[in-house]
């Protein structure tokens, strides 16, 4: 089992957005970036799969510019077999299909023997879940979407997700694109400090840039979202707890009656 | 550029609002014809699609379609339908919003050489192009993209229905497709024992966040949701911590919920979380931090520890039962 983990990073939600514009790559450098929960989950699942079977290889690739290098070093501290940056200069980050085609073309260069690509269910800051299915369809590989967990059982790898009240498990055979969502079982571990220090000294290898592709979508504008506001201020309850609870219960009671 | 909007309605899937793409398509059509392609539907569903705004309905069947088709099979089926003579003139196809159903649209974009729009907040059609606005940066920004001269595939949340729709004239066709479907994923299914009410369609959602501090509080939230006949939800940090299953995650990267009332307990109120709550929803917030952002968006706020507030609130609601 040889895996390629595709990471993008996102503008850190703990920081205000410093810049939003149609220069998506440039804005990555102007904002604080971090791994998204889905990036982290994809990486953790890959590490767990590798731990379960010797001879399994993990190649991690992060799409972006030089601003991604510190993040890639952070990822390198988890000791993937290979960590490279995909030069984002020609990637159409806003256009899932075109982006997926570029990533698909790079998979053989990342690992010619790869039989699984792990990728967060959303890739980057465009909030689109379209990249993983486009990637699978472009590669002609099977798609397992919204994976929450992977485990080995009797020598076979199983992918697991929950849909409604049903847990679905699928055995892995052949080549797969696996989009990963967050789950308690795939929270990213902490790296060993010695590996962190070693990774800081790592020189970052870069793949690409890919030949520029003709995007299917033109990016017209990116603007800060209008602030969600309420016309009226919040009615803050006051007084003894019992009084507040009584008011809240009275407010909620009609919905109870209706439902 | 001429061409119709096609609503792709996988009625065969459980827990999917199959009518949503019809309503979404009708809301943006402005004179463009709307067709609905329903997989696993019947005459009653066809009439519902007509009432929701479709001008024509295709009820699709396939001899190889089982009770639980996977998305790969649905992609193949919709691709077959969209290449039929009556439907190939489409310029936009919409699927129901949802993490799994949206993969159908993206896959179709590749198979039918179109553009993948993803989940859009709005879509506008002009003679020359399709323009879509959609969230970016976890809902903190809005992105506008345009596609000229290509078919587009995506999803859009429909406006909330105000009534059941007027009776409409329209044609209903039966389409039996026979091209072989891909083998379904060899899926083993088991009950995950998460039998609480669904978030979709719930009138009340009771949700917890990082401030709950552990699983214990979620048992109380579930009890409160039960008292109100509502559904249990959670924020991303609560899901990450394993206090609530991922299928109950509300927010930009989770479910979009449209209840009448959203009870947010121990939730700070980040834009990413609020992006999963309909603007028309009335928010009730319980948080020990009086400065929490959630109070800026709530109608009623209570500054309290959940350990004090929830048992008392549940008891009071049970008293008044």
Find residue A118's DSSP bridge partners: A5, A178
Q: Does A11 touch chain B (CB under 8 A)?
A: yes
Tens of pLDDT, residues B135-191: 999 888 999 999 998 899 999 988 876 655 666 789 999 999 999 999 999 999 988
| pLDDT for the residue numbered B166 | 65
Identify whether the C-beta of residue B153 lies closer than 8 Å to the C-beta of residue B114. Answer: yes
Residues of chain B with pLDDT under 50: none
In the structure encoding, which two tokens stand for residue A255, read together? 């919905």
Predicted TM-score (pTM) of the model is 0.88
Is residue A165's pLDDT more than 80? no
| pLDDT for the residue numbered A259 | 45
List the single residue in A with minimal CA-CA distance to B307. A241
In the structure encoding, which two tokens stand for residue B223, read together? 């009890």
User: Which of the four pLDDT bands, split at 50, 70 and 90, describes residue A182?
Assistant: confident
Nearest Cα residue to B264 out of B308, B290, B300: B300
Find residue B255's DSSP bridge partners: B250
Conformation bin of residue B165: beta by default, left when phi > 0, alpha when psi is -120 to 50: left
Nearest Cα residue to B61 out of B82, B84, B37: B37
* Strand order, beta sheet including B231-234: A235-236, B300-303, B282-287, B261-265, B204-208, B231-234
Task: Check if the interface score ipTM surpasses 0.95.
Answer: no
User: Which of the four pLDDT bands, split at 50, 70 and 90, describes residue A248?
Assistant: very high
Tens of pLDDT, residues A43-71: 999 999 999 999 999 999 999 999 999 99
Contact A20 B194 (CB under 8 A): no
B288 contacts: CB under 8 Å, gap ≥ 6: B211, B266, B303, B304, B305, B306
The string over B56-94, giving b where at least 16 C-beta atoms fall within 10 Å of a residue's C-beta and e elsewhere, is bbbbbebebbeeebbbbbbbbbbbbbbeeeebeebbbbb
- Which residue bears the tokens 């990728």? A119
Asked if the peptide bond before residue A209 counts as cis, ω within 30 degrees of 0, the response is: yes
- Residue from the list A17, A97, A144 with its beta carbon closest to the beta carbon of B116: A97
Start-to-end CA distance of chain B, whole Å, equals 59
Please list every residue in chain A whose beta carbon sits closer than 8 Å to the beta carbon of residue B93.
none
Contact A230 B299 (CB under 8 A): yes
Q: Which of residues 116-145 of A touch B (CB under 8 A)?
A: 121-122, 125-134, 136-138, 142-145
% of chain A with per-residue pLDDT over 90: 81
Q: Does A221 touch chain B (CB under 8 A)?
A: yes
List the single residue in B with minimal CA-CA distance to A94. B145
Q: What is the mean pLDDT of residues A72-100?
A: 96
Cα separation of B139 and A90, whole Å? 25
- Which residue bears the tokens 């992105």? B143
Contact A225 B141 (CB under 8 A): yes
- Residue from the list B115, B139, B148 with its beta carbon closest to the beta carbon of A225: B139
Provide the angle, in degrees to the nearest 10, between the axes of the packed helices A131-139 and A96-110.
Answer: 60
| pLDDT for the residue numbered A6 | 98
| pLDDT for the residue numbered B149 | 87
A201-215, A225-239, B280-294 — which one is most confidently predicted on average? B280-294
Q: Is A156 exposed, middle or buried (0-12, 13-18, 19+ CB in 10 A)?
A: exposed
**Is B257 strand, coil or helix?**
strand
Cα separation of A140 and A138, whole Å? 5
């Amino acid at each position: 089992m040889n895996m390629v983990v595709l990471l993008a990073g996102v503008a850190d939600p703990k920081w205000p957005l410093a810049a939003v514009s149609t220069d998506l790559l440039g804005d990555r450098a102007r904002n604080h970036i971090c791994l998204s929960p889905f990036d982290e989950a994809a990486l953790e699942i890959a590490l767990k799969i590798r731990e379960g079977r010797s001879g399994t290889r993990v190649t991690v690739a992060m799409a972006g510019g030089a601003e991604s290098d510190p993040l890639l070093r952070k990822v390198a501290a988890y000791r993937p077999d290979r960590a490279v940056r995909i030069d984002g200069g020609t990637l159409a980050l806003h256009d899932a299909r075109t982006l997926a085609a570029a990533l698909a073309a790079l998979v053989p260069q990342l690992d010619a023997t790869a039989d699984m690509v792990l990728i967060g269910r959303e890739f980057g800051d465009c909030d689109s879940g379209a990249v993983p299915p486009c990637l699978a369809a472009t590669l002609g590989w099977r798609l397992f979407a919204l994976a929450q967990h992977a485990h080995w059982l009797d020598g076979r790898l199983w992918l697991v997700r929950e849909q409604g009240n049903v847990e679905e498990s699928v055995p892995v055979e052949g080549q797969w694109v696996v989009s990963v969502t967050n789950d308690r079982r795939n929270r990213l571990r902490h790296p060993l400090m010695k590996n962190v220090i070693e990774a800081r000294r790592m020189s970052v290898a870069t793949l690409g840039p890919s030949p520029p592709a003709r995007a299917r979508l033109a990016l017209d504008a990116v603007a800060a979202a209008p602030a969600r506001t309420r016309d009226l201020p919040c009615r803050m309850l006051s007084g003894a707890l019992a009084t507040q609870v009584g008011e809240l219960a009275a407010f909620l009671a009609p919905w109870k009656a209706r439902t | 550029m001429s061409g119709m909007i096609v609503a792709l309605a996988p009625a065969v899937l459980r827990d999917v609002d199959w009518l949503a793409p019809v309503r979404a398509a009708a809301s943006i059509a402005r004179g463009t014809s709307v067709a609905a392609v329903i997989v696993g539907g019947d005459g009653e569903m066809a009439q519902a699609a007509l009432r929701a705004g479709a001008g024509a309905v295709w009820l699709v069947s396939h001899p190889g379609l089982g009770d639980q088709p996977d998305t790969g099979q649905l992609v193949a089926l919709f691709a077959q339908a969209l290449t039929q003579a009556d439907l190939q003139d489409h310029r936009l196809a919409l699927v129901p919003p949802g993490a799994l159903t949206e993969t159908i649209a993206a896959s179709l974009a590749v198979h039918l050489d179109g553009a993948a729009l993803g989940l859009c907040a709005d879509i506008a059609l002009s003679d020359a192009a399709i323009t879509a606005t959609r969230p970016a940066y976890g809902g903190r920004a809005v992105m506008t993209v345009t596609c000229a001269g290509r078919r587009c595939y995506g999803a859009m949340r429909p406006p909330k229905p105000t009534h059941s729709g007027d009776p409409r004239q329209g044609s209903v066709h039966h389409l039996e497709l026979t091209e072989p479907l891909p083998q379904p994923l060899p899926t083993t299914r088991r009950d995950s024992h998460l039998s609480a009410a669904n978030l979709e369609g719930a009138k009340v959602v009771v949700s917890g966040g990082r401030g709950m501090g552990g699983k214990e509080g979620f048992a109380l939230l579930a009890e409160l949701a039960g008292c109100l006949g509502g559904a249990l939800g959670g924020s991303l940090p609560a899901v990450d911590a394993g206090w609530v299953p991922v299928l109950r995650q509300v927010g930009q990267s989770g479910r979009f919920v449209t209840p009448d009332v959203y009870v947010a307990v121990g939730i700070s109120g980040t834009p990413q979380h609020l992006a999963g709550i309909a603007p028309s929803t009335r928010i009730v917030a319980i948080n020990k931090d009086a400065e929490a952002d959630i109070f800026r968006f709530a109608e009623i706020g209570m500054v309290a520890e959940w350990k004090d507030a929830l048992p008392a609130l549940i008891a009071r609601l049970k008293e008044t039962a």
